[in-house]
Amino acid sequence: MAQQHLEPTEPVAGHAGPVTGEALAGYLRAQATEFLRALRLHRESGAVAGSGAVPPVDAARALRRSARRISGSLHTFRPLLEADWSERMRPELAWVSGTLASEHACEARLERLLLALHRLSGATVFPAQGAGGTVAPAPSAPSPDRGNLTVGAAKAGALLDRQLTLARTRAHSTALQALGSSRFHAVADNIAVLASEVPLTPAAPSTDLRPLAQAAKDRLKDAAAALPLVTAGHPYNAEALVHGLSPDPAPHPQDAPWHQVRLLLRLHRYAREVLRGDLTDVRLLAAGEALDRHRDASEAAAAAAQAARTPRIAPATAYALGVLHADQRHEVEAARFAFQRSWQMEPVSTS
């Protein structure tokens, strides 16, 4: 998602002095411009989609990307922005990125689950990736065929395909409706204004951004420190599957703090972008990717468990879904291990 530039250990020369609200305004203007560009691209490619063109996945991703960055910056640097405007904008931006993310999430989840079914059937789909490597879904890979699956695995795959394709179709309709709604047009209008005129408070242009960025970083550090990282650092601790057969309908409250750290890590990264430009710390990137994988595996495991509750499925299908659920919960555990490794590697450098 973010560009993978290596970060210099010292702040960029031009940024040596205090960074003020002016930098925030510049960042917000750039992100707003990016949003409008992606929206235009999305509409253009959408117009030709009927003629067999590639669906505007990249445009939707770029829309989400800038919506998240604007929303995150409004949150982190709240005191520097007009309160009314900022309070009004944030839930609208969350709605936009959430609505646009859903279709892609269904698609990625299905792909992840079908690839896992293939891996579990002994078919070599993709080579393991690197050191802590587990097989991750490759977004551009062709959909695997079901030639060498057992009956249970094939039926489980067909069931998941049906359920997640339905969910994806619904998400697609919802997103289309949203993009055509007056609510969305109001957001787009607001962002068009933002692209030229950022509603800073009078004091903002001379206010140092660093204390607010530091506060975002501290929230991240505190939340990460509260995670069970010692356990996560011991491989095969069998924690993630502990509630795999719990009678509790929401059996994985243990995932929530990790999801929360994922969001805080993102806010920290965006604050760094405001202060230092688009230079991404590879360590933060690795930690963020581990938490993305954690979230994806957690949701895929839930989808497998959910599919197993479909009435009148064959025992072989249920068995395959049980294996698949456990496999994805182990992916959750593997992602926690990977996060712990990248997080403990070195202290967070002072932004």
Summarize as ranges the residues that interact with a second copy (CB under 8 A).
117, 119-122, 128, 131-135, 148-150, 152-153, 231, 234-238, 241-248, 251, 308, 313-327, 330-331, 333-334, 337
Is the CB of 149 or the CB of 274 nearer to a second copy? Answer: 149
Task: Give me the least distance between CB of 101 and a second copy, in Å please.
Answer: 27
Question: Whose Cβ is closer to a second copy: residue 93's or residue 324's?
Answer: 324
Compute and round to an integer the Cα radius of gyration of the chain. 22
Q: Which is nearer to a second copy, 19 or 149 (CB)?
A: 149
CB of 311 to a second copy, least distance (A): 9
HSE-CB for 167 with a 13 A CA cutoff: 19
Quote the CA–CA distance of 234 and 239 in Å, as a whole number: 10
Which residues, other chains included, contact 71 with Cβ-Cβ below 8 Å and sequence gap of 6+?
A: 89, 90, 93, 94, 97
Tokens 């949203």 belong to: 178
| Bridge partners of residue 81, in order along the sequence | 200
User: Minimum distance between the CB of residue 55 and a second copy, rounded to whole angstroms?
Assistant: 31
User: Closest CB to a second copy among 63 and 232?
Assistant: 232
| Minimum CB–partner distance for residue 310 and a second copy (Å) | 9
DSSP state at residue 346: S
Residue placing its CB nearer to a second copy in the complex, 14 or 122: 122
CA nearest to 239, candidates 169, 329, 165, 147: 329
Neighbours of 111 (CB within 10 A): 18
- Rounded to the nearest whole angstrom, what is the least distance from the CB of residue 4 to a second copy in the complex? 23
Q: Which is nearer to a second copy, 225 or 314 (CB)?
A: 314
Q: From the CB of 248, what's the least distance to a second copy, in Å?
A: 7
Q: What are the residues facing 208 on neighbouring strands? A: 20
Give the span between the Cα atoms of 188 and 172, in whole angstroms.
19
CA 295: distance to chain centroid?
8
Least Å from the CB of residue 242 to a second copy: 6
- Sequence-ordered strand ranges (E) for the chain: none
Structure tokens at 231: 């356990």
Nearer Cβ to a second copy (142/315):
315
Rounded Cα gap, residues 143 and 158, in angstroms: 13
Nearer to a second copy, 215 or 238 (CB): 238
Tell me which residue has tokens 């650092």.
233
Q: Tell me the C-alpha distance between 107 and 117, whole Å.
A: 16
Looking at residue 350, its amino acid is: T
Q: Which of 121, 104, 78, 76 is nearest to 265 (CA)?
A: 76
**Closer CB to a second copy, 122 or 142, in the complex:** 122
Q: What is the smallest separation between the CB atom of 237 and a second copy, expressed in angstroms? A: 6
* Min separation Cβ 269 and a second copy, Å: 25
